[in-house]
Amino acid sequence: MKKIIQDLSLEELETLVLELGEKKFRAKQLYEGLMQGKSIRAISSLSKAFKETLCEQYEDEAIRIKETYVSADGTEKYLFEFADGNLVEGVLMKYKYGYTQCVSTQVGCRMGCKFCASTLGGLVRNLTAGEILSQVLIVNALHRSEVKSGLGDGARAVTNLVLMGSGEPLDNYAEVIKFLKNVTAAGGLNISARNISLSTCGLVPKMYALANEGLPLNLTVSLHSTNDEDRARVMPVAKAYKISEILKACKYYFEKTGRRYYFEYTLIDGENCDEEHAKALVALLKGLPCHVNLIRLNEVKERTLKSTSDKAAYRFLGMLEKGGLSATLRRQIGVDIGGACGQLRASYLDKNE
Ligand code: SAH
């Protein structure tokens, strides 16, 4: 595979064009074309000869959309293909205030959570910063014309990002940080870090490192249990890091960034959503500057875990609220299109084996 040009910042592109004997302003044209989601060869402001030189070293198309599914509720799901044929998925959720895209950070995942489809075949490889960015660029390009953006040039339809696709973002730390710097860059897509949520299964040392980056992101931790023993049954990572260590790292994150943090809690029938669990969760989190997002389990056919009823989900939410926690039950969207992490890729690989 050749290199990925979307890995480069504007400054790095300037160095590159000068090295290739072009004038510096060509870097800006190249950058603008890439930020509009174009392939190298589709950027009309550059000469054919220069583009061919670039394509000797860099992939012309870093990413392609292989399949698109549109849900009855408007949610779109994409199966992306990278230059080496690897597949990941992404989701676009349309809200009144803007479009939120869910991006993947790895092909597969090695965290092994029992309810998750991304981890079924283990980790295949990390994505580069440019491959993560190219997911946003290509989806943004598709929808640019639909949104009157506040950016004079109407360049941005995607306003919010969640790093909740396949992969564990903090297990691909350097590339994810580079992606975050590039996607928030003023001359580029310029998505505010405050509109980006990074979700982790709780890799504690990397949570400290993230707090020190000085990026005002929304940090989200997948908790799913109220004690280490229960947690280890569904999340193998719980054997490496205790909930008490995770809470300490969250406290540090809050002190460093001033931002409250979030917990994801997926409701699994018979596992974590009875009255005793609600009480334990309240005891664990009460008084902390955090918010709890309850998620209904999206049942994965390769896994045996079961979702709860709506009634039980609302009862659990009620108990948390009564106990004084700030919590919401995520509206379930896109279920008819295989909305859960890794489901689309898994079923595609199945079909094509
Ligand atoms: N690796 C990161 C990002 C993963 S996905 C993390 O662990 O946080 C984002 C969220 O979806 C996580 O909270 C994850 O636990 C949850 N999730 C994964 N599969 C799910 C499923 N089938 N149903 C409901 N939630 C799921």
Residue 203 Cβ contacting ligand 1 at under 6 Å:
no
- Protein residue with its CA nearest to atom 10 in ligand 1: 164
Torsion, Cα of 172, 1, 348, 110 (10° steps)? -20
pLDDT over threshold 50, residue 304: yes
In percent, the amount of the chain with pLDDT more than 90 equals 83
- For residue 152, what pLDDT is reported? 40
Domain boundaries, the chain: 5-57, 63-352
Lowest average pLDDT, out of 31-40, 89-98, 169-178, 264-273, goes to: 89-98
Query: What distance in angstroms lies between residue 116's CA and the mean position of ligand 1's atoms?
Result: 6
Could you tell me the distance, in angstroms and rounded to a whole number, from the CA of residue 197 to the centre of ligand 1? 13
Q: Is 341 a catalytic residue?
A: yes
CATH for the 5-57 domain, from 1.10.3470, 3.30.420, 1.10.3210, 1.10.150: 1.10.150
pLDDT at 151: 46
The catalytic position among 113, 116, 273, 341 is 341
Q: What are the angstrom distances between the C-alpha of 350 and each of 37, 41, 73, 121, 291?
A: 30, 34, 26, 11, 37
Residue nearest to atom 19 of ligand 1 (CA): 116
195 lines ligand 1 (CB under 6 A): no
Note the CATH architecture for domain 63-352. Alpha-Beta Barrel (3.20)
HSE, side-chain direction, 13 A CA sphere, residue 273? 26
User: Across residues 94-111, what is the average pLDDT?
Assistant: 92
For residue range 207-223, list pLDDT tens digits in order.
999 999 999 999 999 99
pLDDT tens per residue, range 14-50:
999 999 999 999 999 999 999 999 999 999 999 999 9
pLDDT tens digit sequence for 332-348: 666 666 655 566 677 77
Q: Is the CB of 118 under 6 A from ligand 1?
A: no
Furthest CA-CA distance within the chain: 68
**DSSP type of residue 40:** G
Those residues with Cβ within 8 angstroms of residue 92's Cβ, 6 or more apart along the chain or in another chain: 75, 76, 77, 78, 99, 100, 101, 102, 139, 143, 158
Ligand 1 nearest-atom number relative to CA 303: 22
Q: How far is the CA of 169 from the centre of ligand 1 (A)?
A: 12
Distance CA 96, CA 197 (A): 18
Residues linked to residue 295 through DSSP beta bridges, in sequence order:
266
pLDDT of residue 340: 59
Residue 331 has pLDDT above 80, yes or no: no
19 given a catalytic annotation = no
Q: Whose CA is nearest to atom 12 of ligand 1?
A: 222
The predicted pLDDT at position 148 comes to 60
Average pLDDT over residues 291-301: 90
CA of residue 353 to ligand 1 center, whole Å: 26
Instruction: Please determine, for residue 308, whether its predicted confidence score (pLDDT) is greater than 50.
Output: yes
Dist. CA 222 → ligand 1 center (Å) = 7
Model confidence pLDDT, tens digit, residues 148-193: 654 444 457 999 999 999 999 999 999 999 999 999 998 899 999 9
- Catalytic member of 59, 76, 89, 175: 89
Write down the pLDDT at residue 153. 46
pLDDT of residue 301: 78
Q: Of the ranges 239-248, 280-289, 304-313, 319-328, which one carries the lowest mean pLDDT score? A: 304-313
